[in-house]
Amino acid sequence: MPEKQAIAFLGLGHMGGPMAVNLVKGGYAVAGFDVVPAALDAAREHGIPVSAGAAETVSGADVVLTMFPSGQHVLDAYLGTGGQPGLLAAAAPGTMFLDCSTINVDEAREAARLAIDAGHRAVDAPVSGGVVGAEAGTLTFMVGGGPEDFEAVRPLLEVMGKRVVHCGGHGAGQAAKICNNLILGASMIAVSEAFVLGEKLGLSHQALFDVASAASGQCWALTTNCPVPGPVPTSPANRDYQPGFAGALMAKDLKLAVNALRGTGVAARVGPLAAEIYDMFAAEGGAARDFSAIITDIRDKSAARDGAGNKPAGSAGSAPGTASNKATPNAAQDDGSPE
Ligand code: NAD
C-alpha cells in the first residue's frame, strides 16, 4: 500500500464527519459519502470532498472506512441491498475494509469474512473518546485483524486518534470495546448507588469521594466522570449531565455486551442487569444525557422509599407496586417483596 492511502469514508455522522476532516487535514485523499443529504452538505462545508454515490466513492480507494450506526448497516452496505451492488463488489481487489462502527463481535467477524472471501483485506477498529475525541483527533482505536493489516492502517488511525491498540484477530477490537463498556456501565451504576446511599446516611459527596477515590472503590466512573457535581469539576454532572457519553450509546454498547455474554455462555448477572437499567434510562429521557445521569434516576426512585420500603410522609413518590416503583427492575427486588 502507498504511504498515504486514498480513503473512501462512508458514514459522515457525529463521529465520521470530524474523523474525515482530520484525515483531510492529515494529507489523505478522502472521498466521503453518506446516505443522508444533510450529512453530505455538512461534510462539504467542512472541506471533505464528497461523491454522489457509494460505488463512486469506493472506486479507486485503497481503504474503505465505514462509520455506521449498527452491524446491520455495515453488512447491508458491504453486500448491497435492493438489487444494488455493495461496497465489496464495487471495490478493486485487495482493498482494505476498515470498519470503525461499534457492532456485535459476530457481525464484525462476519463482515471480515465477507471482505476476505471477496478478495479484500479487513480490520475492525471501533473507537472510544466520543465526538470531542473525534474532533480533537484524540480517539482510542481498538483494532482487530492480522498484524500486517494492523500495520497498514495504523498510520491513518494515528491521524484520528492518540492511542491505537492491536487487540488480536478479527472481532477483537469489538470484543475489547464491549468488555470495557461492560465494566464502565456496571461501575457507574455502583458508584451512583453508593452516592445515593451516602446521601441517605448523611455522608457528604466530598467525604465519600475523598475516601473512595483513594481506596479500593477507585475507578474511572468515580474519579473522572463523577456522577455528582463538585468533586471532579470537569465531570458532566457539573453541566447538567450534557454528554460526555450519551445514555443511548451506553444502552447500545451494553446490549452488544449482553449479546456476547449470551453467545459465549458466560454466567453473567451484573452485565444483563446493567443493560436493562440503561435501556430503561435511555427510554425514559436519558438517551441524550450523559450516562452518569443514571444517578438522578436512582435518586428519584429512592425518594419514594424509606429504609423499610415505605413511602415517606409528604413524599411525591409512589408506594410499592405503582408504575414508578416498577420502573427499576433491581428496585423491585429490594423492596421487601417475597422474592
Ligand atoms: P451517526 O448516526 O451520527 O452517524 C452514522 C452515519 O452513517 C449517519 O450519518 C448515516 O446516515 C450514515 N450511514 C448509514 N448507512 C450508510 C450507508 N450505507 N452509506 C453511507 N452512510 C451511511 O452515528 P455516530 O454517533 O457518528 O456513531 C457512529 C458509530 O460510532 C456507531 O456505531 C456508534 O456506536 C459509534 N460510537 C459513537 C460515539 C459517539 O459519541 N457518538 C462514541 C464511540 C463510538
Residue 256: domain span: 176-302
Same domain as 128, residue 29: yes
- Give the distance (Å) from ligand 1 centre to CA of residue 12: 7
Query: Domain of 252: which CATH number?
Result: 1.10.1040.10
Question: Which residue's CA is minimally distant from atom 10 of ligand 1?
Answer: 11
**Same-domain pairing of 15 and 161:** yes
| Reported confidence tier of residue 3, pLDDT bands at 50, 70, 90 | confident
**CA–centroid distance, residue 120 to ligand 1 (Å):** 23
**Is the beta carbon of 101 within 6 A of some atom in ligand 1?**
yes
Please give, one letter per residue, the 3-state secondary structure of the chain: CCCCCEEEEECCCCCHHHHHHHHHHCCCEEEEECCCHHHHHHHHHCCCCECCCHHHHHCCCCEEEECCCCHHHHHHHHHCCCCCCCHHHHCCCCCEEEECCCCCHHHHHHHHHHHHHCCCEEEECCEECHHHHHHHCCEEEEEECCHHHHHHHHHHHHHHEEEEEEEECCCHHHHHHHHHHHHHHHHHHHHHHHHHHHHHCCCCHHHHHHHHCCCCCCCHHHHCCCCCCCCCCCCHHHHCCCCCCEHHHHHHHHHHHHHHHHHHCCCCCHHHHHHHHHHHHHHHHHCCCEHHHHHHHHHHHHCCCCCCCCCCCCCCCCCCCCHHHHCCHHHHHHCCCCC
Closest C-alpha to ligand 1, atom 1: 13
| Mean pLDDT, rounded, for 111-126 | 98
Residue 326 lies in a domain: no
Same domain, 43 and 140: yes
Q: Which of ligand 1's atoms lies nearest the C-alpha of 253?
A: 34
Same-domain check for residues 109 and 221: no
- CATH label of the domain that carries residue 24: 3.40.50.720
**pLDDT tens for each residue of 98-111:** 999 999 999 999 99
Question: Which pLDDT score is estimated for 237?
Answer: 98
pLDDT digits (tens, 9 = 90+) for 18-40: 999 999 999 999 999 999 999 99
Q: Which pLDDT value is given to residue 34?
A: 97
pLDDT band at 304 (very low <50, low <70, confident <90, very high): confident
Domain count, the chain: 2
Q: How much is the pLDDT for 19?
A: 98
Instruction: Indicate the pLDDT class of residue 336, thresholds 50, 70 and 90.
Output: very low
Question: Ligand 1: distance of its center to the CA of 40 in Å?
Answer: 13
Q: What percent of the chain has pLDDT over 70?
A: 89
How many angstroms does the Cα of residue 207 sit away from the middle of ligand 1?
Answer: 40
Does residue 127 have its Cβ closer than 6 Å to ligand 1? yes
Region 31-53: mean pLDDT is 95
Q: Is the pLDDT of residue 291 over 50?
A: yes
Residue 1 pLDDT grade (very low, low, confident, very high; cuts 50, 70, 90)? low
- pTM of the model as a whole: 0.89
Residues 165 and 19 both lie in one domain: yes
254 in contact with ligand 1, CB cutoff 6 A? no
- Catalytic residue list contains 326: no
